[in-house]
Each structure stands twice: as C-alpha cells, then as structure tokens.
Amino acid sequence: MKFHINPLASDIIISIYVIVTLYLRLKFENNTNASPILSIVLGICFVVIIWVLIKLKILNPNWFGLFNSKKA
C-alpha cells in the first residue's frame, strides 16, 4: 500500500517547501561567501527531492487547478 497525499495538501506542502528552501538558500548565501555554482547545485538538489516525491506518487499536485486534470 502506497502513501498518497491528496492534491490540495500536496499543493500546500510543495508551496511551503519552495518558500522554505528559497529562504534557506538565500540565508546560506548571505552568511557565507558561497559561489553561484554552489547555490545552483543546492537548488537542483532541492528540486530533485520534490521531483522524486511526485514521481513516486507520494505527492499528487493539482497545481492549484491551473491546469486541466485528466479525467479517466
């Protein structure tokens, strides 16, 4: 049995995750003299985590209804 999160909760979780990770990246860059490449690598790592959760169907984003969902 797989663990699924409903679309609205997935949208909220992804939004909070994006805001928090962006804040952490900016705070990290301000506190240290990090190179832009390090920031890009960190951003890619954060995006890969969300991408894997979506591909595993744990998160089921509806993108707040912006795109038409496929009706079976």
Read off the pTM. Answer: 0.80
* Concatenated DSSP letters of the chain: ----B-HHHHHHHHHHHHHHHHHHHHHHHHHS---HHHHHHHHHHHHHHHHHHHHTTSB---GGGTSPPPP-
pLDDT by residue for the chain (72 residues), tens digit each? Answer: 678 899 889 999 999 999 999 998 888 888 888 788 888 898 899 999 999 999 999 998 888 777 665 655
